[in-house]
Chain A
Amino acid sequence: MPKDHGIGASPKRREDVRFLTGRGKYTDDIALQRQTHAVFARSQVANGRIVNIDTTKAEAMPGVLAVFTGADFADVGGNPAGWLINSRDGEPMKEPKRPVLAHGKVRHVGDAYAAVIAETAEQARDAVEAIEAEIEELPAVTDMKAAVAGGALVHDEIGTNVCFDWGWIEDNRAATDAAIKAAPHVFTLELVNNRLVPNAMEPRASIGDYDPGTGDYTLYTTSQNPHLTRLLISAFVLGIPENKLRVIAPDVGGGFGSKIYHYGEEALVLAAAKKLGRPVRWTASRSESFLTDAHGRDHVTKIELACEEDGTFVAFRTETYANVGAYLSNFSTATPTFLHGTLMAGNYKVPNVYVNVKAVFTNTAPVDAYRGAGRPEATFSIERIIDMAARKLGIDPVEIRRRNFVQPDQFPFTSAAGLQYDTGNYDALMDKLGDLADLSGFEARRAASAAKGKLRGLGVNSYIEACGIAPSNLVGVLGSRVGLYDAATVRVNATGNISVMVGAHSHGQGHETAFPQVVADMLGIDESSIEIVHGDSSKIPFGMGTYGSRSLAVCGSAVVRATDKIIAKARKIAAHMLEASDADIEFKDGKFSVAGTDRSVGFGEVALKAYIPHNFPIEDIEPGLEETAFYDPANFTYPAGAYACEVEVDPETGVVSVERFTAVDDFGNVINPMIVAGQVHGGLAQGIGQALFEGCTYDENGQILSASYMDYTMPRADDVPFYTVDHSCQTPCTHNPLGVKGCGEAGAIGSPPTIVNAVVDALQRGGMSHVTHIDMPLTPARVWAAMQG
C-alpha cells in the first residue's frame, strides 16, 4: 500500500490552489504605492565603443523621472564570479569587471548601457527611443576557436579572450596520454553541446524600494536564492549593508539556473529607488530574456576513448572550449570545470581521465549553469563516444556499459576524475530499464515502423551526476568563494502548529508540500499544521538557495537537524512535566512517554508549556520552542540512471519523433514520488528540447538569430510522448540524514545522448553506416543532410 502521509507519500501539492485560481504572487504581480517603471536601453551591436550617450531629449520626455548611464555606476563594484579557477600554468583566471550598466564599451547585443525611469512603462519605453547613443561598432567575436586564436577582444584590458585554460586532473595527464597511446582502440569524436536559453516561463523582474525614514531597502526579484542575491549586492555591487537590504523572491515562475545569478537590473532598481524616493520596477520582455538571461551549455568538445579489445575502457581524454559569453556570470567558471570535468569518468571504473577546458570570452550573452550545469555536457560526451565505440567494436551498447560499470561492492568508489561516489547500483538500473522499456520487444516495434516506411532506432544511456551541492570544505579547496551549506529554522508556535523557515527557494519544486512531509514524520503530527516559509531574507536565517538538485539533500537535511533539536528540547520539557529524567522519556507518534509507564504528554502540550512557562525550570531550559540548524554536506550526492529512447525517423524528411522514453533513476530515498516523477518529466522535455529542437544562434557579427519563440523552438506538447519513469532502484545516500540524492536535473542530463544515440541507431539500421554522429539539435535539415552522406 502506498503511504498516505509523511515520507514516501504523494499528498496533493498545497501550493497548487493559489496557482490554479490565479492567486499566485509573482514579482510582476506586486504593485507598490507611487511605483515607477524602468526600461533599459540595450546595445544593438555585439562589440562597440561608447563614444557618447546624450540623454537630454529622453529626460525631457513626458513622465520621465531619471535617466541612468554607466557613468552613474562607474564607482560601484562589479558583479563577481563565485569560483576562482586557475589555469594549468598556475595563473588565476581573468576576471574583467561586470558593471551594473555598460560603461566605455558594450560587449554583447542586449548589453544595457542606460535606463530610463518614468511614471509608466510606456513612457519609459518611448524615452529609451529618444536616447541618442553614439556607439562605434567594432568587429565582434562569437566563435570560440576564433576568439582564442586572436582578433577582436571582448575585454581589451585583459589582452586575451581566454578566461582560463584548466586541466583536471593535471597529475593524471601523463598517465592518460600513455594509456591512450598504448591502447588497441582509440575512438575520437568532435561534439557540439548546443547553446540553450533556459526560458523559465516567467521573465525576470525586479522591484526596488527604499524607505528614507529608516534607510531600509527592499528588493522583490525573480530569484532562486534571495540570500545570495543580497550577499552579492551588499558585499560586491552596491555596498548596502546586509541588515539594511531585504530581498524577497516571492512566487517565481521557474528558474532552471537562469535565476540563480545576480543581474545588473536588480542593482539598478535599488539605486534608482533610493535616488527617486519611490519604488522602481522592471519586468523583462521575452526578447530581453533571450538577450540577457544567462544562457546554458555551449561547449565544443573533442573526446577520445581508449578501449581494450573486449571493450574495457582504459582512458577518457577531452579538450573542451566552453563559452562564458561577454561577462563572467556568478557560477560560470564552476560550471564547465568542477561540475563537468569531475564527472568525466561517468558510471565507469575507467582508470584514466584527463580533462582540459578552455573558457572563452565572446561577444554573446553570459553563459552559466542551466539545468544540469556541466553534468549534461560531461554525460553527452561520454555516452556518445561509448555508443560509437560499441558500434565499432560490435558490442551491444548495453553490454559495453555493463562491462565497465563500477560494481556495487566497489562503493565508496573514487573515480578517475576525483570524486568519491558513495553508493550506487548501475546494473540494477540497467536491469530495470530492460524490463520497463521492453528492450527485447524493440525488434518487433522496429519492424512495425519499417512497415510504415519509418526508420526506428533505439538509444540507451547511463549517467551519473554530482548533486547536493556542495561540501564547503571540498569546494573551498577547489576555488569556491562561498560555502554551500544551507539553513532552516523550525518554529513551534505556542498552539502547536509549526513554521519552518528554509533557505531553499521553491519555484516549481513543491517544497511547500514535500518539506512538511519530513517534519511531520519526525514529530508524528499532521502535515497540515506545518507551514514552509521561503523566499524572504528577513524571515529566514540564511540560505544558499535552490540549484544543483540540492534543496532536499542540503536544506532538507538542515530541516532534519533543526527538528532533531526541537525534539531534544521538547524531551527536556516533557521530562519536567512528567517529573521524570530525560533519559527515561520516549518520543513516538507525537507523544512523550515515561518508559514503561502510561504517563505521557502530547507534543502540543509541550509546545504550550514552552511558551507559558509556569512552573518551568528556567535555569535549565529557556522558554520557547524554536531551533535553527545549518547543514553542510560531507560529500556530493550521486544520483544515477539508465535511460532508453525509441525514435522514428522519416527517411524522406529527416523528421524525428520520440516514440517511447523510459527513465530509470536512483535518487536514493524518495520523499514525494509524485513530485519526483514530475521533476523527471520536466527534465526529459528539456533534454528532448536540447537534442531535437533548441539552439541559440549568433551570426558572425554577434547578432542573435534566435531571440523569440518564433525563432527558438521550445518543445510543445505534441513534440513529446508520455514518459515511463521509475525510481524504485534506491541506494540511499550514506551521508545525509534523509538518504536522498536529488532529482531536479536528472532528466535533462540523461536524455540528450539517449536521443542522439537512438537517431544514429535508426540511420545505421537503415543502412546509412556512414552516420556516426549528428550535432544537436537534430533538426530535420541536419538529419536529412546526414542521411545524404
Chain B
Amino acid sequence: MAKVSMTVNGAAASGEVEGRTLLVEFLRGPLGLTGTHVGCDTSQCGACVVHVNGEAVKACTMFAAEADGAEVRTIEGMANADGSLGVIQQAFQDHHGLQCGFCTPGMVMSAAALLKDNPKPTEAEVRKYLEGNICRCTGYHNIVKAIMAASGQDVSAIAAE
C-alpha cells in the first residue's frame, strides 16, 4: 500500500492505495466521487474520462499512484461556483444530450477537453473527437448538437428536437 495525495476538484484528497488501484477506483471508492463511471474493461467506452492536469484521461488507464500530486477534475467539479450547471452541462440538458446518464460524465469531460483545444469545432470534428466515448442511448445526434451549441454555434438548422 502506498499513500497518494492529489487535488480533486480543487480540494486536497489523499488515501492509501495498492499498486494496482486504478485512478477511477480511487475516485469512486475512497473519495466517494461516483459520478465517474466504469463501462468497460478495455479503455474503450470513455465513461470514466476525467481531467488530469488539464488533459482528458480515461481514469481506468491510469493507476491512482500515477496521479500522485496531480490536479484532477471530475464531473462533480464541472458546475458553476453557485451550483448551477456549467455551459456544457446546460447545453446537454437544453438539447436532450443524455438519456440514461451513464456515459454522460465522460461525454461532458471529453467535450470540455475538445472545446478547450478547438473552441468552434465542426460537426465532423466533434464526431471524430468522440470516437473514444460510447453512448448506447442517444444515437449521438443530440450529444453532437449540444457540444456545438455549447461552443456558441447556432444549431437551430440541425433537425428538430
A contact residues vs B (CB 8 Å cutoff): 10, 12-13, 15-26, 28-29, 31, 122, 199-203, 251-254, 256, 283, 285-287, 507-510, 673-678, 681-686, 708-710, 714-718, 720, 722-725, 747
By beta carbon, the residue of chain A nearest B133 is: A717
A675 cross-chain contacts in B, Cβ below 8 A: 96
A722 contacts B159, C-beta separation under 8 Å = yes
A684 to B47, CA, bound (A): 22
B100 contacts A716, C-beta separation under 8 Å = no
Which of these, A28, A31, A201, A747, contacts B100 with CB under 8 Å?
A: A201
A678 contacts B144, C-beta separation under 8 Å = no
Which of these, B93, B123, B142, contacts A20 with CB under 8 Å?
A: B93
B130 cross-chain contacts in A, Cβ below 8 A: 716-718
Q: Is B151 an interface residue (CB 8 A)?
A: no
Distance in Å from the Cβ of B91 to the closest Cβ of chain A? 10
By beta carbon, the residue of chain A nearest B92 is: A20
Known: A716-B130, A718-B128, A723-B141. A678 touches B39 (CB 8 A): no
A722 cross-chain contacts in B, Cβ below 8 A: 123, 141, 144-145, 158-159
B40 contacts A718, C-beta separation under 8 Å = no
Which of these, A16, A201, A509, A681, contacts B139 with CB under 8 Å?
A: A681
Which of these, A12, A251, A717, contacts B143 with CB under 8 Å?
A: A717
Q: Is B63 an interface residue (CB 8 A)?
A: no
A240 to B38, CA, bound (A): 32
Which of these, A17, A677, A747, contacts B161 with CB under 8 Å?
A: A677
A252 contacts B131, C-beta separation under 8 Å = no
Known: A708-B41, A718-B131. A253 touches B34 (CB 8 A): no
A21 contacts B100, C-beta separation under 8 Å = no
Which of A252, A254, A509 has most chain B Cβ within 10 Å?
A254
B140 contacts A685, C-beta separation under 8 Å = yes
A720 contacts B139, C-beta separation under 8 Å = yes
A709 contacts B44, C-beta separation under 8 Å = yes
Known: A21-B35, A22-B36. A16 touches B101 (CB 8 A): yes
Q: Closest 7 A-B residue pairs measured CB to CB?
A: A22-B35, A19-B101, A253-B102, A685-B139, A709-B44, A508-B100, A508-B99
By beta carbon, the residue of chain A nearest B144 is: A717
A199 contacts B136, C-beta separation under 8 Å = yes
B105 contacts A22, C-beta separation under 8 Å = yes
- Apart from A510-B99, A720-B141, list 7 A-B contacts with CB within 8 A: A19-B105, A199-B136, A287-B41, A685-B140, A714-B136, A717-B128, A723-B139
A725 cross-chain contacts in B, Cβ below 8 A: 159-161
Which of these, A10, A254, A714, contacts B137 with CB under 8 Å?
A: A254
Distance in Å from the Cβ of A675 to the closest Cβ of chain B? 7
Q: Is B135 an interface residue (CB 8 A)?
A: yes
A201 contacts B99, C-beta separation under 8 Å = no
Q: Is B64 an interface residue (CB 8 A)?
A: no
By beta carbon, the residue of chain A nearest B36 is: A22
Subset of 8 A-B contacts with CB under 8 Å:
A19-B104, A22-B36, A709-B45, A714-B136, A717-B127, A717-B128, A720-B140, A722-B145
Which of these, A19, A25, A256, A286, contacts B98 with CB under 8 Å?
A: A19
A682 contacts B20, C-beta separation under 8 Å = no
Distance in Å from the Cβ of A215 to the closest Cβ of chain B? 30
Q: Is B75 an interface residue (CB 8 A)?
A: yes
Distance in Å from the Cβ of B21 to the closest Cβ of chain A? 9
A684 cross-chain contacts in B, Cβ below 8 A: 139
A678 contacts B138, C-beta separation under 8 Å = yes
B contact residues vs A (CB 8 Å cutoff): 18, 20, 28, 32-42, 44-45, 47, 74-76, 78-79, 85, 89, 92-94, 96, 98-105, 108, 123-124, 126-128, 130-131, 133-145, 158-161
A678 to B108, CA, bound (A): 18
Known: A202-B37, A708-B44, A717-B143. A253 touches B101 (CB 8 A): yes
B20 contacts A201, C-beta separation under 8 Å = no
Which of A22, A28, A685 has most chain B Cβ within 10 Å?
A22
A682 contacts B136, C-beta separation under 8 Å = yes
Distance in Å from the Cβ of B81 to the closest Cβ of chain A? 13
B96 cross-chain contacts in A, Cβ below 8 A: 13, 674-675, 677-678
B20 contacts A22, C-beta separation under 8 Å = no
Distance in Å from the Cβ of B9 to the closest Cβ of chain A? 10
Main secondary structure of the interface of B (DSSP, over half): loop
A404 to B105, CA, bound (A): 48
A201 contacts B159, C-beta separation under 8 Å = no
A253 to B35, CA, bound (A): 12
A717 to B124, CA, bound (A): 9
By beta carbon, the residue of chain B nearest A723 is: B141
A684 to B143, CA, bound (A): 15
B134 contacts A714, C-beta separation under 8 Å = yes
A714 cross-chain contacts in B, Cβ below 8 A: 134, 136
Distance in Å from the Cβ of A611 to the closest Cβ of chain B? 33
A509 cross-chain contacts in B, Cβ below 8 A: 99
By beta carbon, the residue of chain B nearest A287 is: B41
Distance in Å from the Cβ of B142 to the closest Cβ of chain A? 6
A709 to B33, CA, bound (A): 25
A202 contacts B98, C-beta separation under 8 Å = no
B161 contacts A253, C-beta separation under 8 Å = no
Distance in Å from the Cβ of A490 to the closest Cβ of chain B? 26
B45 cross-chain contacts in A, Cβ below 8 A: 201, 286, 709
By beta carbon, the residue of chain A nearest B126 is: A717
A686 to B161, CA, bound (A): 19
Distance in Å from the Cβ of B2 to the closest Cβ of chain A? 15
Known: A201-B136, A674-B161. A22 touches B74 (CB 8 A): yes
A285 cross-chain contacts in B, Cβ below 8 A: 41
A256 contacts B136, C-beta separation under 8 Å = yes
Which of A509, A676, A718 has most chain B Cβ within 10 Å?
A718
By beta carbon, the residue of chain B nearest A15 is: B101
A20 contacts B89, C-beta separation under 8 Å = yes
B35 contacts A23, C-beta separation under 8 Å = yes
B131 contacts A716, C-beta separation under 8 Å = yes
A28 to B104, CA, bound (A): 16
A23 to B94, CA, bound (A): 18
B75 contacts A21, C-beta separation under 8 Å = yes
Known: A16-B98, A19-B101, A286-B39. A682 touches B33 (CB 8 A): no
B33 contacts A22, C-beta separation under 8 Å = yes
A724 to B36, CA, bound (A): 32
Distance in Å from the Cβ of B108 to the closest Cβ of chain A? 7
Distance in Å from the Cβ of B125 to the closest Cβ of chain A? 10
Which of these, B44, B78, B102, B139, contacts A26 with CB under 8 Å?
A: B102
A254 contacts B100, C-beta separation under 8 Å = yes
Known: A20-B108, A677-B160. A200 touches B136 (CB 8 A): yes
Which of these, B32, B39, B138, B144, contacts A682 with CB under 8 Å?
A: B138
Which of A201, A676, A678, A718 has most chain B Cβ within 10 Å?
A201
B33 cross-chain contacts in A, Cβ below 8 A: 22
A12 contacts B93, C-beta separation under 8 Å = yes
A682 contacts B137, C-beta separation under 8 Å = yes
A251 to B20, CA, bound (A): 29
B158 cross-chain contacts in A, Cβ below 8 A: 722
A283 cross-chain contacts in B, Cβ below 8 A: 38
Distance in Å from the Cβ of B97 to the closest Cβ of chain A? 9
A507 contacts B100, C-beta separation under 8 Å = yes
By beta carbon, the residue of chain A nearest B104 is: A19
A122 contacts B18, C-beta separation under 8 Å = yes
B39 contacts A122, C-beta separation under 8 Å = no
